[in-house]
C-alpha cells in the first residue's frame, strides 16, 4: 500500500526547504497547505512570538471514522546548521546531502512518513480514529516549541514522537537534563608588566574544572563541560570566563546531586582565591541553572508500548523497549500528561554532513505507523 516513489518525493521536497531553528515559517506553510488539502483542520499557535521565531507550532486534526480516543503523532520542523541550500543525493536507495550540509532527515523523514501514512489511510478507506498531529518548532535548540505549546489544544493522552534512528525499538526511557552557566569574574591587568595585579579568571576556573568528574558518572547519569569562553588577548590577564555544561540522568536525585557538585567545586575554588586577594570581592561567581527538560519513564505494560508492539508483531517484527541518553519533544509531552513513545525513522549520523537515511527504513516506519493506527482503531472506547 505504501507508495515508495511518493514518499521519496515528499521527503526530498521537504528537505529542500530551509528551516533552521527559528526560521521554520516556509516549511510550516508548505506542511499546512498539504494537510489542509488532505482534509485536516490546522492551527498555528503563538509559540514563535514567545521565542523569537517566524512561525509557531503547527497542530492538525483528522477526525477519522472510528470512535476511539485520539492518537498523537509528533515530529519537529526545524533542522540544525549547516542546513541551508540542501542538495539531495539519492543513490542505491539511500538519501544523503552533497556533503556540504546536513540532510535534514532529522526530522523531515518523520514528516514525510506521517504524510504518506495519512494518504494511504485515505486512499484505501482504512477505518481509523482521530489523529492529532503536532509539528513543533525549535526542537533542536532546547525543545522550545514543545515547551511553549498550548497543551489545552491537545486532547490525546498518548501517542508517538518520530525522532530517533533505529526502526526496531520504541524509546520509553529518556533522561532529565540540567544546563549550567557559570560566570567567573577576576581582575584584568597587563600580563607582561603587572601580572601580579590581575586575577586570572581562566586559571581559577580551570582549577574548579579539574576537580570535577566528567563523562559517564554511572549507568544512568552523564556530565559534561562543553563550552569555556574567556579572555581578550594573550597580553591581558582575563577578568571573565564563562563555562557552560550539562548534567543528564534517569534519576532526578542523581541529577541534582551532580549539578550541586559542579557548583560546589567552583564555589570552593573561588572562596580559596578570595582569601589570597582579601578585600577585593574577587574572584566572584555567578551561577545560572536551567532545568532543560524532564525525564520520561514509560512502563513496559503501558498501552502506548503494547499497541506499538502488537502492531509490529502483526507485521512479523519485534519492537523492543529502549533507553536513550537524549531528549526529545516526548519529554515535554510526558511532563504534561501525554505518554509519548519515540519510534525511529532510520535516520543516521544526524547533525553531521554525513547524515543519511534509507528509503526502505522510511517505508518500514510508514508500515508500522499504519498498523499502529489500525490496531488502535479496534480498541473502541477502552
Cell numbers placing 3:
507508495
Q: Is 188 helix (H, G, I), strand (E, B) or coil?
A: coil
Task: Say if residues 136 and 149 touch (Cβ distance below 8 Å).
Answer: yes
Q: Which position has the grid cell 601580572?
A: 195
Rounded Cα–Cα distance for residues 324 and 171 (Å): 7
Cβ(24)–Cβ(53) below 8 Å: yes
139 labelled catalytic: yes
**Residue 224 phi, psi (nearest 5):** -150, 140
Rounded Cα–Cα distance for residues 108 and 111 (Å): 5
Which is catalytic among the residues 24, 78, 246, 292? 78
Check if the beta carbon of residue 42 is closer than 8 Å to that of residue 22.
no
Neighbours of 274 (CB within 10 A): 17
Yes or no: say if 195 and 234 are a contact pair by the CB < 8 Å rule. no
Active-site residue (options: 45, 116, 139, 140): 139
| Strand runs labelled E in the chain | 41-44, 58-62, 71-76, 88-91, 94-97, 131-136, 158-164, 169-174, 176-185, 215-218, 221-230, 240-249, 284-293, 296-297, 320-323, 339-344, 356-358
| Residues belonging to the active site | 78, 139
Amino acid at each position: 500500500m505504501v507508495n515508495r516513489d511518493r514518499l521519496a518525493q515528499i521527503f526530498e521536497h521537504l528537505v529542500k526547504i530551509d528551516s533552521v531553528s527559528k526560521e521554520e515559517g516556509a516549511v510550516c506553510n508548505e506542511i499546512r497547505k498539504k494537510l489542509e488539502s488532505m482534509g485536516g483542520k490546522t492551527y498555528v499557535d503563538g509559540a514563535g512570538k514567545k521565542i523569537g521565531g517566524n512561525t509557531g507550532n503547527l497542530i492538525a486534526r483528522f477526525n477519522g471514522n472510528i470512535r476511539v480516543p485520539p492518537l498523537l503523532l509528533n515530529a519537529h520542523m526545524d533542522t540544525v546548521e549547516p542546513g541551508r541550500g540542501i542538495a539531495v543525493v539519492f543513490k542505491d536507495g539511500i538519501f544523503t546531502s552533497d556533503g556540504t550540509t546536513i540532510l535534514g532527515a532529522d526530522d523531515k523523514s518523520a514528516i514525510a512518513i506521517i504524510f504518506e501514512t495519512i494518504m494511504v489511510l485515505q486512499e484505501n478507506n482504512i477505518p481509523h480514529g482521530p489523529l492529532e498531529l503536532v509539528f513543533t518548532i525549535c526542537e533542536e535548540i532546547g525543545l522550545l516549541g514543545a515547551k511553549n505549546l498550548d497543551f489545552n489544544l491537545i486532547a490525546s493522552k498518548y501517542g508517538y514522537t518520530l525522532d530517533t534512528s533505529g526502526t526496531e525499538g520504541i524509546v520509553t526511557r529518556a533522561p532529565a537534563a540540567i544546563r549550567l552557566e557559570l560566570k567567573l569574574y577576576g581582575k584584568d591587568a597587563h600580563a607582561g608588566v603587572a601580572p601580579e595585579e590581575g586575577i586570572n579568571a581562566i586559571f581559577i576556573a580551570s582549577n574548579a574544572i579539574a576537580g570535577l568528574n566528567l563523562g559517564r558518572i554511572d549507568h544512568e547519569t552523564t556530565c559534561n563541560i562543553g563550552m569555556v569562553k574567556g579572555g581578550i588577548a594573550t597580553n591581558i590577564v582575563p577578568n571573565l570566563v564563562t563555562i557552560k555544561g550539562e548534567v543528564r540522568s534517569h534519576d532526578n536525585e542523581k541529577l541534582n546531586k551532580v549539578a550541586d557538585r559542579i557548583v560546589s567545586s567552583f564555589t570552593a575554588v573561588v572562596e580559596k582565591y578570595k582569601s589570597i586577594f582579601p578585600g577585593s570581592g574577587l574572584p566572584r561567581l555567578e551561577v545560572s541553572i536551567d532545568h532543560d527538560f524532564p525525564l520520561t519513564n514509560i512502563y513496559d505494560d503501558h498501552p502506548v508500548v503494547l499497541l506499538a508492539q502488537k502492531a509490529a508483531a502483526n507485521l512479523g517484527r519485534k519492537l523492543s523497549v529502549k533507553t536513550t541518553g537524549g531528549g526529545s519533544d516526548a519529554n515535554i509531552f510526558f511532563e504534561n500528561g501525554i505518554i509519548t513513545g519515540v519510534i525511529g525513522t532510520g535516520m543516521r549520523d544526524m547533525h553531521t554532513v554525513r547524515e543519511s537515511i534509507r528509503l526502505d527504513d522510511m517505508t518500514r516506519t510508514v508500515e508500522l505507523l499504519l498498523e499502529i493506527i489500525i490496531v488502535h482503531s479496534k480498541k473502541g472506547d477502552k
